[in-house]
Structure 1
């Protein structure tokens, strides 16, 4: 549950950065927004890959 909470926090933070950058229109905020979005997507994909690997390992008998 803690992992999903951290992913949700990263996603909400990215949305907040996007909303804030719309007001400032600066290059720094665009770079920060891109880093935040790529970070959130990377965490989400990493979590999904972990769960898929765990599911496949359990499906295959767990390497017994």
Structure 2
């Protein structure tokens, strides 16, 4: 494990996003890093497709919400 240096503005955005996502700042940073890496490795997939694939790989059963 190491230290990653980021600028103050990005750290502020990270802190705010972690509150909304109910994650620690470190967990939010790890999420962004992982999703960013997966997005670079899979440029044709959308954010939602990447998250859905990762949830499925973790054994989470997802259902699509149908419009009323």
Q: What TM-score does the superposition give when structure 2 sets the normalisation length?
A: 0.32
Which structure: greater helix fraction?
1
Point out which structure has higher relative CO (alpha carbons under 8 A, 6+ apart): 1
Max Rg structure? 1
